[in-house]
Amino acid sequence: MTAYKDMTKEQLMQEKSELVKKYEEIKGYGLNLDMSRGKPGKEQLDITLPMMDVLASSSDYKCENGMDVRNYGVMDGIPEMKRLLVELLGYKAEQMILYGNSSLNVMYDTVARSMLFGVQGCTPWCKLDKVKFLCPVPGYDRHFAITQQFNIEMINIPLKEDGPDMDMVEELVSKDEAIKGIWCVPKYSNPTGVTYSDEVVKRFAALKPAAKDFRIFWDNAYAIHHLYADNQDELLNLGAECEKAGNPNIYYEFCSTSKVTFPGSGVAALISSVENIQEIKKELTIQTIGHDKVNQLRHVRFFQNADGVKAHMMKHADIIRPKFETVLDRLEQELAPLQIATWTVPKGGYFISLNTLEGCAKKVVEKCKEAGVVMTSAGATYPYGKDPMDSNIRIAPTFPSADELAKAAEVFILCVKLVSVEKLLDA
Amino acid sequence: MTAYKDMTKEQLMQEKSELVKKYEEIKGYGLNLDMSRGKPGKEQLDITLPMMDVLASSSDYKCENGMDVRNYGVMDGIPEMKRLLVELLGYKAEQMILYGNSSLNVMYDTVARSMLFGVQGCTPWCKLDKVKFLCPVPGYDRHFAITQQFNIEMINIPLKEDGPDMDMVEELVSKDEAIKGIWCVPKYSNPTGVTYSDEVVKRFAALKPAAKDFRIFWDNAYAIHHLYADNQDELLNLGAECEKAGNPNIYYEFCSTSKVTFPGSGVAALISSVENIQEIKKELTIQTIGHDKVNQLRHVRFFQNADGVKAHMMKHADIIRPKFETVLDRLEQELAPLQIATWTVPKGGYFISLNTLEGCAKKVVEKCKEAGVVMTSAGATYPYGKDPMDSNIRIAPTFPSADELAKAAEVFILCVKLVSVEKLLDA
């Protein structure tokens, strides 16, 4: 195969006419496939089914501290579920609040609380003329949606192989008091799959922000979501580094079991310094009597301990690894020689991030949609939906079945080729 | 028995010395009893245990619209659970959003959203110099805690036998644009147990507030929480009345299964006009991907339909009615002849509301505590914890066992007598 850039105009035109023919053929199939969201597939949901037998009418509903989990009380979560997270993530129980089923909701709430009541005695953000967040890009669209909703100005920060551009982060936060936060997915990042290096984590911990109420929003969504049993990334514990650096209150860490058990029915958690957690609990006590403790008990009785969770995650890996490989193999075979796209090869998480030639992403996603394959909207991985190069596309291979995925990948690759060849012909 | 007011000083002193003796004796028992919160007792929790067998590993997890409830999606709740609430409360499914386990949290969120983003295009409340809420009193302490948290000024409105003083409500809302809401528990009110009359509901529906973004916060917490099978209160459907009155957007109704199934693990709902619900959904879509649909499915498969829920509520009634009767009988026998307190005799809900002689409530609650019986803090039923007469005490008889309750009632009655006799001697 010849790289497109090395083709003559005639060769490109010949290629285009073949691609158009194939594309029209595929449009006729009436496909209805979805590679847009990081949703587990049915087979993944099924491995958690035994959890549904753990609590039955004959079960004991007391948690360790003697409380009946069916009743009101224990606002911040039952001790044994906290301990499970402590084992997995390496914090102390006093640094945690367990929530309901959605860590996105916890992040939203954390921003909302800062807007309304301020952070550790500082002016509530809603009383300030301007609030800004740093946004490593490409990143997670739902993070950007939250800050946009609150009218918080978002500033793009390039996300490199080892994490965000820390020179830029350090400079910006040190001189601009309006910068109150940064969105991070530090492990198996959404969508690029990178894990922040030890150096990057340490530089985060050592930040000297102009704003006293600046916080790192550390969305550790894929903390244990490896694709391989051996070839795994390690992420430094942010809280421990922040303590060492004399910056114990600078971070909020978020996590959940959404992609461990059931996405709609898991347990989420907020982790931070004891001081931050105490402040938040004081406000939370007005907001709710408590979250679903029956479901917390169900989770911990099912997993027993961290090893139980880790073994479960390997079952997920065994299901989704082949899906990643299907897409990656096809990209490698069919796109690599043409030199019209680059992509990430993640070791965990839920996404492959692909960059087309400049100015092609929107058209590719549109063409896919016309042919019955839904991709994440082009631009979604950037604040305000604006990818300055119009080149990044997030591929989510986990939800479709193996068959569907092969077909979806075929359509996607065809669309990348077609839009690329059209671009080169237009140039 | 002679009424205290008719006793001579000598008789009162004699009475006091006997009461003090008894009180010191009881303090020696080392009791640890709780009549402070509207918590179901263990026996009540147990009647819901069969719900825990409804979804098992072998179950089908698809809801009516074909969605797998285990996965992400269906932000506003599964159709069959909405239909169950429609049957029970008489609204349309499009008027509902189902939430997680806590209606308190839904109310908090509704106030928070109004603060941050405003209501139907009006200025966000956080941008206003002053926001006020009307608070029928005595009322629910957690309502008042929410408005206090948001620095909303609370104005007491007397709660009468048929609902709030509507002359006062109408006058205040019609002339003060800063009044943005009113907290209501319209059925088996917390704590007095009154149900708003048809006329009161119609007057609410016909309000002509100065503020376009004034809303009635209708916490229908005890909609189906009757104590008797036959002697039940009926509440008009607020939404229907608001539509008739040309005021369709003026209300938010809140409800939950907290005291139907498990307090920590139920399903809550927000009900309003289609227009309000659409506005809220637009914001909610940023806030969460969705609530726990597995638990929604568990609930609806357990109950099947409204009749299933109603039958279940009668089981609750059979358990808690004797507890109410224990307290009410003792009050009637031991306090009525002394003419030192009045109290409500509710047909539903979770509370008995008792008024002591003026200036006695705080002392009674303190004395109870010293003797090992925790009551709701005196003053808690008023905004800012300030009962102007210092006379209202909320009694929550559901949580203690029958034995414990009898003992707790004995202590409570003794303390009312003792504080009253001291007051009369001081006068």
Query: Would you call A45 and B61 a contact, using CB atoms and an 8 Å cutoff?
Result: yes
- Report pLDDT digits (tens) over B200-234: 999 999 999 999 999 999 999 999 999 999 999 99
B40: chain A residues, CB-CB within 8 Å: 71
Whether chain B has a CB inside 8 Å of the CB on A101: the answer is: yes
Burial string for A168-201 (b: 16+ CB within 10 Å, else e) reads ebbebbeebbbbbbbbbbbbbbbbbbbbbbeebb
Query: What confidence score (pLDDT) does residue A1 get?
Result: 85
CB nearest to A265's CB, from B104, B127, B292: B292
**Contact indicator for A149, A109 with CB cutoff of 8 Å:** no
Query: Would you call A116 and B150 a contact, using CB atoms and an 8 Å cutoff?
Result: yes
**Contact indicator for A269, A255 with CB cutoff of 8 Å:** yes
Average pLDDT, integer, range A165-187: 98
User: Which residues, listed in sequence order, are joined to residue B154 by a DSSP beta bridge?
Assistant: B133
Mutate to test the interface with B, among A44, A106, A262 (most CBs of B within 10 A): A262
- The DSSP string of A161-173 is TTEE-HHHHHHHH
Query: What confidence score (pLDDT) does residue A5 get?
Result: 95
Chain B residues 383-402 with CB within 8 Å of chain A: none
Strands B251-256 and B268-271: antiparallel
The dihedral through the CA atoms of B381, B384, B385, B389 has a sign that is negative
Total Cβ atoms within 10 A of residue A334 = 16
Q: What helix, strand, coil percent values describe chain B, rounded to 5? A: 45, 15, 40
Query: What confidence score (pLDDT) does residue B427 get?
Result: 80
Q: CA-CA distance, B419 to B364, in Å (whole number)?
A: 6
E strand or H helix at A334, and its extent? none
CA-based nearest distance A374→chain B, Å? 16
Query: What confidence score (pLDDT) does residue B102 get?
Result: 87
Helix intervals (H) in A29-158: 42-46, 79-89, 103-117, 141-149
Q: CA-CA distance, B209 to B165, in Å (whole number)?
A: 16
Q: CA-CA distance, A49 to A319, in Å (whole number)?
A: 15
Mutate to test the interface with B, among A53, A127, A150, A292 (most CBs of B within 10 A): A292
Q: CA-CA distance, B66 to B24, in Å (whole number)?
A: 65
CA-based nearest distance A179→chain B, Å? 20
Place of tokens 């909610």: B284
E strand or H helix at B3, and its extent? none
Query: Would you call B264 and A39 a contact, using CB atoms and an 8 Å cutoff?
Result: no
Tokens at residue A192, please? Answer: 């690029």
CA-based nearest distance A100→chain B, Å? 8
Low-confidence ranges of chain B (pLDDT < 70): none
Q: Angle B74-B75-B81 (CA atoms, 0-180°, nearest 5)?
A: 65
Cis? peptide before A191, omega within 30° of 0: yes
The dihedral through the CA atoms of B161, B357, B146, A253 has a sign that is negative
Place of tokens 């969120």: B109
Taking the mean position of all CA atoms in its chain, how far away is CA B1?
A: 35
Q: CA-CA distance, B232 to A376, in Å (whole number)?
A: 54
Strands A96-98 and A373-375: unpaired
B108: chain A residues, CB-CB within 8 Å: 286-288
Total Cβ atoms within 10 A of residue A345 = 12
Task: Sort A31 into a burial class: Cβ within 10 Å, 0-12 / 13-18 / 19+.
Answer: middle
Contacts of residue B254, Cβ cutoff 8 Å, sequence gap at least 6: B103, B106, B107, B110, B217, B218, B219, B220, B221, B268, B269, B270, B271
- The DSSP string of B197-248 is -HHHHHHHHT---SSTT-EEEEE-TTTT-BS-SSS------HHHHHHHTT-T
CA-based nearest distance A45→chain B, Å? 7
Q: CA-CA distance, A346 to B283, in Å (whole number)?
A: 33
Whether chain A has a CB inside 8 Å of the CB on B288: the answer is: yes
Q: CA-CA distance, A414 to A416, in Å (whole number)?
A: 6
The pLDDT > 90 percentage for chain A reads: 99
B263: chain A residues, CB-CB within 8 Å: 70-72, 289
Place of tokens 């040309």: B246
Whether chain A has a CB inside 8 Å of the CB on B72: the answer is: yes
Q: What is the 3-state secondary structure (H, E, C) of A130-149?
A: CCEEEEEECCCHHHHHHHHH
- Report pLDDT digits (tens) over A41-89: 999 999 999 999 999 999 999 999 999 999 999 999 999 999 999 999 9
Q: What are phi and psi for residue B156, nearest 5 degrees?
A: -70, 135
Whole-Å CA distances, B89 to B77, B125, B220, B270, B346 = 16, 30, 10, 12, 21
Place of tokens 């299907």: A326
Closest chain B residue by Cα to residue A69: B264
Can you say whether residue B187 is alpha, beta or left, with left for phi > 0 and alpha for psi between -120 and 50 degrees? beta
The answer to pTM > 0.95 is yes
Contacts of residue A58, Cβ cutoff 8 Å, sequence gap at least 6: B49
Query: Would you call A70 and B50 a contact, using CB atoms and an 8 Å cutoff?
Result: no
Query: What confidence score (pLDDT) does residue B327 get?
Result: 97
Whether chain B has a CB inside 8 Å of the CB on A57: the answer is: yes
E strand or H helix at A316, and its extent? helix A306-330
Q: CA-CA distance, B57 to B244, in Å (whole number)?
A: 48
Angle between helices B293-303 and B79-89 (to 10 degrees): 50
Contacts of residue A395, Cβ cutoff 8 Å, sequence gap at least 6: A35, A191, A327, A343, A351, A352, A353, A354, A375, A376, A412
Chains A, B: CB contacts within 8 A come to 163
Query: What confidence score (pLDDT) does residue A50 get?
Result: 98
**Contact indicator for B192, B158 with CB cutoff of 8 Å:** no
CA-based nearest distance B420→chain A, Å? 34
Nearest alpha carbon to residue B159 among B383, B357, B365: B383
Query: Would you call A291 and B100 a contact, using CB atoms and an 8 Å cutoff?
Result: yes
Query: Would you call A289 and B104 a contact, using CB atoms and an 8 Å cutoff?
Result: yes
Q: CA-CA distance, A302 to A298, in Å (whole number)?
A: 6
Strands B215-219 and A341-343: unpaired
A124: chain B residues, CB-CB within 8 Å: 126
CA-based nearest distance A178→chain B, Å? 19
CA-based nearest distance B294→chain A, Å? 6
Q: CA-CA distance, A227 to A412, in Å (whole number)?
A: 23
Whether chain B has a CB inside 8 Å of the CB on A316: the answer is: no
Query: Would you call A49 and B55 a contact, using CB atoms and an 8 Å cutoff?
Result: no
**Contact indicator for B99, B105 with CB cutoff of 8 Å:** yes
Tokens at residue B101, please? Answer: 């386990």
Polymer length of chain A: 427
CA-based nearest distance B147→chain A, Å? 10
Query: What confidence score (pLDDT) does residue A102 get?
Result: 87
**Contact indicator for A341, A357 with CB cutoff of 8 Å:** yes
B42: chain A residues, CB-CB within 8 Å: 68
What is the SS3 assignment for B44?
helix
Whether chain B has a CB inside 8 Å of the CB on A105: the answer is: yes
Whether chain A has a CB inside 8 Å of the CB on B61: the answer is: yes
Query: Would you call A286 and B145 a contact, using CB atoms and an 8 Å cutoff?
Result: yes
Closest chain B residue by Cα to residue A147: B286
Query: Would you call A104 and B288 a contact, using CB atoms and an 8 Å cutoff?
Result: yes
Chain A residues 224-283 with CB within 8 Å of chain B: 258, 262-265, 283
The pLDDT mean for chain A works out to: 97
Query: What confidence score (pLDDT) does residue B1 get?
Result: 85
**Contact indicator for A303, A314 with CB cutoff of 8 Å:** no
Whether chain B has a CB inside 8 Å of the CB on A100: the answer is: yes
B124: chain A residues, CB-CB within 8 Å: 126
Task: Sort B321 into a burial class: Cβ within 10 Å, 0-12 / 13-18 / 19+.
Answer: middle
